[in-house]
Amino acid sequence: MSTPRKIVLALTVNGQDHDLLVEPRRTLLEVLREELGLTGAKEGCGTGGCGTCTVLIDGRPARACLTLAADVQGASVLTIEGLADALDGDLHPIQRAFVDAHGIQCGFCTPGMILTAKALLDENPSPDEAEIRQALSGQVCRCTGYAKIVDSVQLAARRLAGEEETP
């Protein structure tokens, strides 16, 4: 079979527009990591089961490993690298909360975890514990047992709501 022709892709990632020439079989994860050098999204499995590749597409968490890059043209993609830039401080409040509440061990699940938490808090600024656990139900963490990840999301929610100061 002859190799299918490359296609021109117009992608918006972390607020920046990119014009790329790629094979149509490229997943969003491959394009982020290999074309744009954004290695914050990881390939823990490549088949949808772990969540380490999760990024936000138009504000919703999605598996970059199962998404064809061609399919997200016109959408806005946010990766972990783009989260902090939007604000003055060096860390986004959710990132800061994960650091402060010890929600990170090996860190391989962290980018997907934080972005999924962001989508949750954007939709529901004061989720209860069950809602947090449900929102994170597709994000596997092998290290933490999730306890301090849940703490981190709760801390982030309180700080974003102005109920608690960031030291």
Ligand X SMILES: Cc1cc2nc3c(=O)[nH]c(=O)nc-3n(C[C@H](O)[C@H](O)[C@H](O)COP(=O)(O)OP(=O)(O)OC[C@H]3O[C@@H](n4cnc5c(N)ncnc54)[C@H](O)[C@@H]3O)c2cc1C
Residue 49 as a binder of ligand X (CB under 6 A): the answer is yes
**Residue 46 found at the interface with another protein (CB under 8 A):** yes
| Choice between 91 and 143, CB closer to ligand FES | 143
Residue 53 or 119: the one with the smaller Cβ distance to ligand X is: 53
Q: Using an 8 Å Cβ cutoff, are 53 and 90 in contact?
A: no
Structure tokens given for 162: 């102005």
Single residue of 99, 106, 147, 161 touching ligand FES by CB under 6 A: 106
Which among 111, 65, 102 is positioned nearest to 84, based on CA atoms? 111
Cα 147 from Cα 94, distance rounded (Å): 16
Q: Which is nearer to another protein, 18 or 143 (by Cβ)?
A: 143
* 154 in contact with another protein (CB under 8 A): no
Is the CB of residue 88 less than 8 Å from the CB of residue 71? Answer: no
**Per-residue binding letters, 53-92, with another protein (x by CB under 8 A):** -x--x--xxxx-xxxx-xx-------xxx-xx------x-
Of these, 91, 105, 158, 164, which contacts ligand FES (CB under 6 A)?
105
What does 22 bind: another protein, ligand FES, ligand X, none (CB cut-off 5 to 8 Å by kind)? none
Number of helices (H) and strands (E) in the chain: give both, helices first.
6, 5
Q: What is the DSSP letter of 72?
A: G
Burial class (CB in 10 A: 0-12, 13-18, 19+), 139: buried
By the rule CB under 6 A, 95 interacts with ligand FES: no
Residues within the interface to ligand X (CB under 6 A): 48-49
